Structure 1
Amino acid sequence: GALLDVYAKCGNIQVASKLFNNSSQPDLVMFTAMIGGLAMHGRSEEAVKIFDQMLQSEIKPDHVAMTAILSACSHGGLLDKGRKYFESMSDAFGIEPTIEHYACMADLLARSGCLKEAYEFVSNMPCEANANVWGTLLGACKMHHNVALGQVAGYHLFNVEAGNIGNYVLLSNIYAADRRWDRVEELRKMMKQKDLKKPAGCSWIEVKQKLHIFISGDSSHPERCFIYNMLRTLDQQIKEPLEWISTQG
């Protein structure tokens, strides 16, 4: 089970599937790892088949397996299946949903465009919604252009995760898409008052066993002149064919 899980999480779903199929009696750990691996790779329908196979084998899912299948349904947009599994947790499997299960269900509803239902679901949860849940809702509001609900989710996030600048930026983008420039400016002022700043972009590359780190706006690299000259050369070489194509049109 552990080896299968490693292959699945490392992206080698083919080997993971082979290990699973070659097992005469896969256990709960193997089923869960396979479901999670398939979900991770966007193969939600297959994950559902494996879960149903597990139930037919009379193997009872645990909290982890339920999180895996709900996540699979969420990523695949399998709303009806997800509802069915979530609603059967207590009665059929004797599992009380945790915040992880509620988060998966909220994500499924939100991704599917059922934003009002998702908000009602989150509001009626027996446990307090965390940043993950509200963040899911905020992201879905951007995807589906729901400004009013995005504002509600955003301000909940500001309370539970006050120092995360990404939440402010995401809500600002929702306002900007709706041309609510007054709200955008209001958020900028809030960010300034809280001294929130976006972390500088960073990348690195290893050349001849030496690590070179580049940070946006930083010009302290000892070979910066050579690097910038090379970038300008590459930029020009990229533009030249494009300019030639545009003149031919």
Structure 2
Amino acid sequence: MPRPPILLMTRPEPQSRAFVESLGVEVDVVISPLIGIAPVGPLPDPGRFAGLILTSANAARIYGEIDGTKGLTAWCVGARTADAAREAGLEAEALGGDAAALTESLIARNVPGPLLHLRGFHSRGAVADRLIEAGIETHEAVIYDQPAQPLTPGARAALDGDRPVIAPLFSPRTAEVFALYEPFDGSVHVVAMSAAVAEAVEGLPLAGLEIAASPTGADMAETVLRLLSRLAALETPEGGQ
């Protein structure tokens, strides 16, 4: 009997379920978050700054949970981060799909400082350093950690099983944790949100590695759907419908 693909989601459960829902297709899903989100502090007084920089929706949510100052301008990576920032009471604008694009946009606009980059302990892009080099006063504060979490038994079984697995990976940190659990006995296909994410899984014994056209949820979904369709076709027996 043909075995349809399994979608292995490694984001926190609410984000994983939202992504699966965005696909709009029936698919077998295993959810195994690989990083946790743990608030840390203290938070500098945001009122001292002309604006905030948020490079993840997690930073926006944590800011809201610790009851940060409302009404400040927030420059955000992607629409989801901007939405989370608005929910936290900030005046948010999305600039680019990743930290590099956001930084370039801020430099091109010559946004006045001082700015405050709120980020996780594991962060890439050197946002503050690049803005400082461009003459924009920028500070940074780590407001959450991303501790690694183990694979669930169901995820381990899927990675070692006889059905193809599609694993969308949305951040370099998640990809680094994912790589800790190789080797995999099964056929594992990774969809990476960016080249930096793909770099973290290079050298793994993967059946396939694809990079989304841009680091957005929409392009991740499109790439996953295309791969689901291709793998399902491969599993269809000759003469099948």
TM range (shorter): under 0.3
Question: Which is higher, the Rg of structure 1 or of structure 2?
Answer: 1
The TM-score normalised by the length of structure 1 is 0.24
TM-score normalised by length of structure 2: 0.24
